[in-house]
Amino acid sequence: MGKLSQIGNDLYTGRRSVDFVGRRWLWYSISLLIIVVALSGLVFKGLNLGIEFKGGTTYTVSVSKATQELADELRESVGSTGVVAAETPTVMTAGGKSIVIETGAITENSASDQKVREAITSTAGVADSKISQTVVGASWGERVAKKAATGLIVFLILVIFFIWGYFREWKMAVSGVVALVHDVVITVGVYALSGFEVTPATVTGFLTILGFSLYDTVVVFDKVRENTKNLRASKRTYAQQANLALNQTLVRSVNTSIVALLPVLAILYVSAVQLGTSTLKDIALALFVGMAAGTYSSIFIATPLLVHLKSGEKDVIDAERRARARMKKADRYADVPAFTEDMPVAEDPEELRGARLASDADDLDDLDDLDRDDGVGTSPRGRPQSRTDAMGRGRTAPTEHRPVRESGASGRRQPTRQPRSKRGK
């Protein structure tokens, strides 16, 4: 635990850093690949809509003891009745004494209904009076889908205005909404690929993950705003400050996600593997995939996209120019090119030296101009107060008052230091 806490402290102070912003094109490529796979599953396989959305018939069977073995036997017997609407029934246990069988739309008291009932009574060993039938129309599911879509659109609009009003930055709002859409698309694609049934519980899970993803993104954006509120006085660029904010909140984001995902994973395992209950596993899968995608998008998508959108602003560009100028002034060999075989050879070393000195002078002039804009580090005439270019071993070059010329005393005999006993001899 000591090492983990030390890593977290190093990430917060900046002594150790993960370059999330600088590798944003890598994260964009990974997200694009995941979205393409999700959309391909949605297009070619489609969603497995539940009975509430496509309509159908539900048979609830009261038994002495509901077991998964009995549910499997009922699924096989009902599917082999020859009724088209019951070829692929959904059978699940509901509590300890009930089994629910969902099929397509079957008219009550029809020949198909009688075949299904006979298969249930013969397999489960119960009387016909122990079977209750419920017909669900597709219109109810359509209303649920429309209400869910309306709620999603209203939620996204409110998110845009909330982030815009809180941070006073529309680009943060756009980045946050893109991250939300990213999470929803991935979750829907996973549902299509896994074949899990989409029920009203699934819709509830979708709306829940939107809030979780937004919460994590807002926390990171708040740290970005704190780090970049006085960018002109900072020695770092906007991208560096945003990347520092991501590293500072990384441990919190990972810990929060793990704490939230572990119980959801436990519910998903118990409901899908042991119990087989549809409602729990549907909402658990939506929550698990959505939370994992929300954590990923808040770190790898939202903030890098924000930096990308703000890269053309004047304050951000000026901060990058100041950082480059300070780097060149601190290290006079920062721009020395690496040797390559096709590097051109200068014919006149003095000409090359003069061009390099002129380039250094231009860099210093750019730094002076930027510092003059900030109103710091300049004399009343606008020139630097002192020059501290390194020469030799730690020596400081004095300011030149006039050009160096040959001294008139160069031809005279210069005095020498002698002991007092020999002076005047």
**CA-to-CA distance for 257 and 278, rounded, in angstroms?**
25
Among residues 214, 216, 213, the alpha carbon closest in space to that of 291 is found at 213
Whether 307 and 19 have beta carbons less than 8 Å apart is answered as: no
Q: What is the CATH number of the domain that holds 25?
A: 1.20.1640.10
Mean pLDDT of 390-414: 62
Whether 176 and 163 have beta carbons less than 8 Å apart is answered as: yes
Whole-number pLDDT of residue 389: 47
pLDDT in tens, 212-227: 778 888 888 888 888 8
Is the pLDDT score of 193 beyond 80?
yes
Label residues 392-410 b or e (16+ Cβ within 10 Å = b): eeeeeeeeeeeeeeeeeee
Is the pLDDT score of 374 beyond 80?
no
Is the pLDDT score of 369 beyond 70?
no
Question: pTM value?
Answer: 0.63
**Could you tell me if 221 and 302 lie in one domain?**
yes
Mean pLDDT of 269-291: 73
**Could you tell me if 237 and 156 lie in one domain?**
yes
Domain that residue 113 falls in: 56-136
**Could you tell me if 297 and 183 lie in one domain?**
yes
- Asked if the structure places residue 301 within a domain, the reply is yes
**CA-to-CA distance for 197 and 207, rounded, in angstroms?**
17
User: What residues does 316 pair with on adjacent strands?
Assistant: none
Is the pLDDT score of 302 beyond 50?
yes
Whole-number pLDDT of residue 187: 87
Q: What is the CATH number of the domain that holds 89?
A: 3.30.70.3400
**Could you tell me if 174 and 266 lie in one domain?**
yes
Whether 55 and 105 have beta carbons less than 8 Å apart is answered as: yes
CA distances (Å), origin 68, targets 123, 273, 298, 311: 14, 10, 40, 58
Could you say which of 113, 136, 159 is where a domain stops?
136
**CA-to-CA distance for 184 and 18, rounded, in angstroms?**
27
Label residues 164-184 b or e (16+ Cβ within 10 Å = b): beebebebbbbbbbbbbebbb
- Asked if the structure places residue 74 within a domain, the reply is yes
Whole-number pLDDT of residue 81: 82
**Could you tell me if 234 and 258 lie in one domain?**
yes
196 or 298: whose pLDDT is higher?
298
Could you say which of 272, 290, 310 is where a domain stops?
310
Mean pLDDT of the chain: 76
Least confident piece of the model among 232-241, 242-251, 300-309, 343-352: 343-352
Domain count, the chain: 2
Q: Is the alpha carbon torsion for 388, 394, 400, 403 positive or negative?
A: negative
